[in-house]
Structure 1
């Protein structure tokens, strides 16, 4: 449990010794991207930077930073959790708390498409850049790539994502692309999750950049995922999405998807950090059982 005193000390450290962040990054114990299982379970925590704070019926669930950090530290304490995806403010808190030792770390790069904004699909790169990701000793950068053929902001997002893919590859870092075919309905952005639309988004995203050598895809779990995974040879991680229903239903959906060729694991945020009943450790353990079922049975 992350104590009130440790959170107080974190705020004091940030105010009095900002250099401690770079020192913690330089001294952090790292690990290979993939272990022997070839699988990854990554916890996502980059939602707040896009103004997306809601979980289920609570529109401000992720607004309390102390509460979010406690949930993240609990999740990362499970050895089966390989790492975390977040923006600089979140990752630097976790660095200073010592929660990133031996973990895979992805920096979130484009958070400028604020949730509900008129410019939402012109998703500017307002977070990490490739050079900083490499300098911090992180493993890669994640970018959201929403494609709306009726919105001129899409082309700026595509150009920026392509440039970031190239820069990350040159630095030997993973470029994690999260593509969607999107459109506005009554002024709000909706992602098209039909198999044909997801296949098209994969085709566009996979072709971004001067090389795909370090490109991974972050894809939604949809009906017809077999068709989606047949559209690419790139490694893919499945996103948890907006949590709905029971964890049992969610686990069953994930379990089927994890059997497909090319699927390397899960990147899950709110579904694990804010599960029904609030037991983060149990939710994480359930997801870990799906990602590495054989290893869990042996260790048990």
Structure 2
């Protein structure tokens, strides 16, 4: 990396305008390249207080380690870009590794992991005007809907307004919808075919236009049901990764689920984070190359 962590701190303390300058000179690219597929590495978890990977509760807390892993991932052939919160994207800008990459800003981080207010997921990250000002390429929002939690209504309304604001600026917005519920006090996402289908229908209809809306979806519990769930909308879809499991067999099973879902007509690519940046087996480069190979 051209800069070290102490260098980043020095630049931030003495020359905060360097972030805007780096954003202004960044070489941009179309959202979809020649392959027509999209491979995005996700690192937006820390801003929600979700630092754990497997049994390592603070694995993502070490910023130097996270940035090093992201730089490796972004250097691999076939990786199109990165999804992250403002602080991480600005570190990467200062490191000079975002030229020719799709840069996707994370918009709502208010529903902190494990909080009583987790479902009132207010927009505390990038705004549409921030993404436009920094010349970033897209945004992402999380839309968890719990029919028993009034906070979900705030999230739904805020999501609709974010969709409108992004469309006004002709910026793609990746909406990640779930039907969720609390189990023993913790929020759990329902990955049944019926729940994923319902979440797709809700997300597709938000806002005054869906022209710039993409969907970021999990693979259903039964992968054979995924095709039926995706028949609910004509919006383009990327698959979210989640964690690939601890054993080699679980990891291969996850890859097989992605491989099968990637054959469906509306699916355009993958957005994967922890399972590539902190793989249970092998290094970051090998994990990223395997995921790219699925495309």
**Match of residue 107, structure 1, among 95, 98, 105:** 105
Q: Return the alpha-carbon distance in structure 2 between the equivalents of residues 203 and 47 of structure 1.
A: 25
**Match of residue 248, structure 1, among 237, 247, 252:** 252
**Match of residue 286, structure 2, among 282, 285, 288:** 282
**Which residue does the alignment assign to 1:263?**
267
**Which residue does the alignment assign to 2:94?**
96
Q: Return the alpha-carbon distance in structure 1 between the equivalents of residues 242 and 147 of structure 2.
A: 23
Q: Return the alpha-carbon distance in structure 1 between the equivalents of residues 91 and 174 of structure 2.
A: 22
Secondary structure of the structure 1 residue equivalent to 2:72: helix
Please state how far the C-alpha of 1:14 moved relative to its aligned partner: 1.1
Secondary structure of the structure 1 residue equivalent to 2:60: coil
**Which residue does the alignment assign to 2:239?**
238
- TM-score (ref. length: structure 1): 0.94
**Which residue does the alignment assign to 1:41?**
39
Secondary structure of the structure 2 residue equivalent to 1:14: helix
Q: Return the alpha-carbon distance in structure 1 between the equivalents of residues 86 and 288 of structure 2.
A: 23
Contact 1:42/1:268 (<8 A) preserved: yes
Q: Return the alpha-carbon distance in structure 1 between the equivalents of residues 71 and 139 of structure 2.
A: 21
Q: CA RMSD in A?
A: 1.1
**Which residue does the alignment assign to 2:5?**
7
Superposed, which structure 2 residues align to 1:1-300 within 5 Å?
Answer: 2=1, 6-222=4-220, 223=222, 224-244=225-245, 245-246=247-248, 247-291=251-295
**Structure 2: gaps (5+ residues):** none
- TM-score (ref. length: structure 2): 0.96
Please state how far the C-alpha of 1:15 moved relative to its aligned partner: 1.1
Q: Return the alpha-carbon distance in structure 2 between the equivalents of residues 40 and 122 of structure 1.
A: 30
Q: Return the alpha-carbon distance in structure 2 between the equivalents of residues 274 and 13 of structure 1.
A: 28
Q: Return the alpha-carbon distance in structure 1 between the equivalents of residues 229 and 6 of structure 2.
A: 46
Q: Return the alpha-carbon distance in structure 2 between the equivalents of residues 227 and 182 of structure 1.
A: 20
1:218-241 Cα offsets, whole Å, 9 max, x none, are 000122111111111000000001
Secondary structure of the structure 2 residue equivalent to 1:62: helix
Please state how far the C-alpha of 1:249 moved relative to its aligned partner: 2.4
Contact 1:55/1:243 (<8 A) preserved: no
Contact 1:142/1:177 (<8 A) preserved: yes
Runs of at least 4 residues of structure 1 off by over 6 A? none
Please state how far the C-alpha of 1:93 moved relative to its aligned partner: 0.2
Q: Return the alpha-carbon distance in structure 2 between the equivalents of residues 195 and 80 of structure 1.
A: 30
